[in-house]
Structure 1
Amino acid sequence: MSLISLQDTITIAMSVADRHASAAWYTDMLGFEVIYHADEAGWSEMQTKTPGVTLGLGEHTKPAPGNMVPVFGIADIDNARAKLEGADVKFDGETEVIEGMVKTATFYDPDGNALMLAQDLT
């Protein structure tokens, strides 16, 4: 049995210089479909060909090449975070909230790989 209960979704998040151009590339090259562009948050999300797996595009002026973070859907991020912190899992700062959209928290596995939890607030 696991410490926390994840939902049946995963988003693979990556940094890009231009979300709209990247979304067009993933549409044309891989057949992904845009779910939405959240311009105020600098975020776009695309449906991959795998059910429950989306690609998130975070816009950054200088994206780091090769950086991808799996984002796991969770129903109650505060409870999950408390349990993980109780098991000495290290987090990167506070839980971030975009009102009416999402709550996220980045944490690390024992090898320092970044992972993220996300609670849908829509």
Structure 2
Amino acid sequence: MSLITPENTITIALSVTDRHASAAWYKAMLGFETLYHADEAGWSELATNTPGVTIGMGEHTQPAPGNCVPVFGIKDLDKARAALEQADVRFDGPTDVIEGMVKTATFFDPDANALMLAEDLTGA
């Protein structure tokens, strides 16, 4: 039995230096379509060719090479986080909230691989 139940979505989050240029590259090279650029949040999202799977890009001046964080869509992040914390899963700080957009929390597997939970706050 799992502690949480992710929705049928997964976002693969990458750090990039220029989200708009990266989105253009992913479109030209892989045929991915830009869903949106949230410039105020430093985030862009692209639809892949696989239903339910998106590429999210966070803009950083010096992104870590080879980084990739799977982001699991979840209906109730607070409840899921509480269940994982009760099982001694380590989180990377408090939950981040961008009002009207998303709530996220990064946590780690036993090998210190970063994973993230995300709750959609757009009402969509």
Q: Would you tell me which structure has more strand in proportion to its own residues?
A: 1
Matching residue of 2:62? 62
**Identity over the aligned pairs, expressed in percent?**
77
Corresponding residue pairs, total: 122
Unaligned runs of 5+ in 2: none
Structure 1: distance between partners of 2:4 and 2:62? 34
Distance 1:5 1:32 in 2: 27
3-state DSSP of counterpart to 1:103: strand
> 2:3 corresponds to which letter in structure 1?
L
Deviating above 6 A after TM superposition, structure 1's stretches of 4 or more consecutive aligned residues are none
2:28 aligns with 28
The alignment partner of 1:45 has SS state of strand
Asked whether 1:6 is paired with 2:3, we answer no
- Aligned pair 1:86/2:64, yes or no? no
**Matched position secondary structure for 1:107:** strand
Normalized against structure 2, the TM-score is what? Answer: 0.98
Match of 1:118 in 2: 118
2:113 matches 1:106: no
Aligned-pair CA distance for 1:62:
0.6
Q: Please, which runs of 5 or more residues in structure 1 have no aligned partner?
A: none
How far residue 57 of structure 1 moved from its aligned partner, in angstroms, is: 0.6
Alpha-carbon displacement from aligned partner over 1:46-79 (angstroms, at most 9, x marks no partner): 0000000000010001111100000000000000
